[in-house]
Structures are given as structure tokens and as C-alpha cells.
Amino acid sequence: MAERIPVIMNPAARSTKAARMRACVEALSPAPEMHFTQYAGHATEIAEALAREGRELVVAAGGDGTVNEVLQGLCRVNATRSDFATHTALGTLPAGTMNVFAYEIGFPSHRDLINPWRVMTSGARRDIDLWMANEHYFVQLAGVGMDAEIVKATTWQMKKRFGPLAYAIAAVQVLRSQLPTVTIKAPGRADSHGCLALIGNGRNYGGRFPLFRDAKLDDGKLDVVIVRESFNAWHGLQVLRGALLDGYQSSEDLEYLQLDQFTIESAPQTALQLDGELGGALPIAFRHSPFRLRVAA
């Protein structure tokens, strides 16, 4: 009998919808091996233990935050294994508030868990770039400045009540405050400055919006969008034009970079978000992980 695939899930996530989502996951065929988290950081601990057991695949059932927690546990173990063939792969079932990474790798809807599960059980795997912000791994996106302050202002209670709209509500609050200046330093180029730096491994941000239009998960580069001044409606229109129409044009307001290593500082201190969850304190050094990530896709 084939080994059951372990799935890590937060049973309290999304509150009233959690029981229904849990039932959907448990009803998948072949039946998954369920592991439920009990506290913050528990998904990382479970994932690490499963990877140490030598599991070929561990699946995160939830949003981008759950995916990132599971990622940390897998990478702690994968980092100790010189043979990439023995690394534990990451799977994702899009069952959270925001599922940007799941969409990026081809799973477009949290209403459809059957197709992603079919892919995972088929053995389909793909190797993609993996990145580090200081000592924290991330796979989809990061943000410094206004973006991270919005994540910081979006409480669990807001996400429970409003879903993805909670981020828009928090954005209104953040835009009323004085935003810090962030500085991007990269080897061989002049420093860049702005109120906001968005960093993408994949193309999408905030759902299905292709903000990082030139990004690829396996090109060895992080794409960086910098808004140079305090964010307003004009900057928003330029971002929309750049992402959806004719590309990012050189201007006094926006800058689009592709970098393989860089550092971000800020004054005064600002927040950092990694895959939709708050990360560590600045300065942050972005660089390649010593190994790539195998995903079920």
C-alpha cells in the first residue's frame, strides 16, 4: 500500500469556514494523512519532523502564511542534505484567505482542491528558485515599506470577517500615516530609494495581479518594483499600466529591477513581509538559497 501523503492544516483558520474546508481536505482520495496545528509556528515543527522521517512530499493546506511556515520546516532539513534527490518536496492546497503561490504554480481556485491533489498524487514535481531574506526562506514574494505595514495592520479578526477585503481596509489606514524611506543596495549599481519595495519570485501579487510581469520562478532573479515617493492614485495607475499594458517605463516615480542579491534598509524602521506574513527586522539581505525547492506542480 502506498504511503499516505501528509497534509498540515490549521483547523481554526477562517473560523466558520474552517470545518467545511477541513471536511473537503479529509474527503480527498486517496485519503491524506492529516496533521493539525495547535499554535503559531507549529506547522514549521510538524513539517520539520516529517521531513526528518524522509517523507518525499509534505503538503500545506491553507494560505500563503501556512505555506511559508511549512517551507521553513522543510528547508531546515533539506539544508542538511547534500543530495538534492533526497530533499522533501512542498505541496500546497489553496485553502486560505490568500493563495498567491498556489495560483502561481497552476492551482487557480480555493474552491478546487481535487485538481491540485490529483497533481500531487501523480508524482508531478518541478524545481524552482528558493530565496532567503537574512535567514528566513521565502518562495513567492516580499514587501518592505507600505506593503508590509498593510500586512502588519491586517489583523486575524479582520481577515476572519472580511476575507481578502481586509487588506484593502488596512491599506486605507496605512496611507493616512507617514511612510518611511526604504533604500535598496545592490552590487555594481547606485542605491535606489522609495516608500515601497515589492519583491517577486513569481509574477503574481495579492492574488491574480501580474505585478512582476517579467518574473519567472526559475530564472535566478528576483523582480523588484520600487515606488519612489509617497504612494498616491497616480502611482497606482502607473503600476497598473506597467503590469497590464506596456511594461514599466523609466520615470521619476517607479523603478523595475531584476537582481540576484541586494540589501534593503529603512529610516525610520519599517516592517517586512514574506509570503504575506510579517518577517524580521531590517536591514534585510536578499540572496539565493544554497539549494532549490522541489514543488508538486
CATH of the domain at 152: 2.60.200.40
Q: Which residues contact 218 (CB under 8 A, 6 or more apart)?
A: 127, 128, 129
**How many structural domains does the chain have?**
2
Residues 146 and 127 in one domain: no
Residues 149 and 187 in one domain: yes
What DSSP assignment string belongs to 119-158?
HHHHT--EEE--EEETTEEESSEEEEEHHHHHHHH--HHH
The answer to the question of residue 42 being in a domain is yes
Domain region containing 169: 137-290
Among 89, 108, 131, residue at a domain's last position: 131
What pLDDT score does 163 carry? 67
Residues 16 and 94 in one domain: yes
Residues 127 and 146 in one domain: no
The rounded mean pLDDT for the chain is 85
What pLDDT score does 15 carry? 56
What pLDDT score does 123 carry? 95
What pLDDT score does 1 carry? 47
What pLDDT score does 130 carry? 98
What pLDDT score does 179 carry? 72
The answer to the question of residue 296 being in a domain is no
Taking 50 as the pLDDT cut, the residues of the chain under it are: 1, 233
Residues 239 and 216 in one domain: yes
Residues 285 and 187 in one domain: yes
What pLDDT score does 218 carry? 96
The answer to the question of residue 54 being in a domain is yes
Q: CA-CA distances (angstroms) from residue 113 to 23, 107, 121? A: 11, 8, 12
Residues 184 and 200 in one domain: yes
What spatial distance separates the first Cα and last Cα of the chain, rounded to whole Å?
Answer: 23
Residues 174 and 125 in one domain: no
Residues 25 and 57 in one domain: yes
Distance CA 103, CA 276 (A): 14
Residues 181 and 265 in one domain: yes
The answer to the question of residue 263 being in a domain is yes
What pLDDT score does 121 carry? 96
Residues 189 and 103 in one domain: no
Among 112, 131, 150, residue at a domain's last position: 131
Distance CA 227, CA 144 (A): 11
The answer to the question of residue 98 being in a domain is yes
Among 131, 150, 181, residue at a domain's last position: 131
- The answer to whether 264 and 95 are in contact (CB under 8 A) is no
The answer to the question of residue 295 being in a domain is no
Q: List helix spans (H) across 176-274.
A: 233-244
Provide the sign of the torsion angle of the four alpha carbons 183, 248, 210, 290, taken in this order. Answer: negative
What is the pTM (predicted TM-score) of this model? 0.86
Q: What's the distance, CA 274 to chain centroid? A: 6
Name the 3-class secondary structure at 3: coil
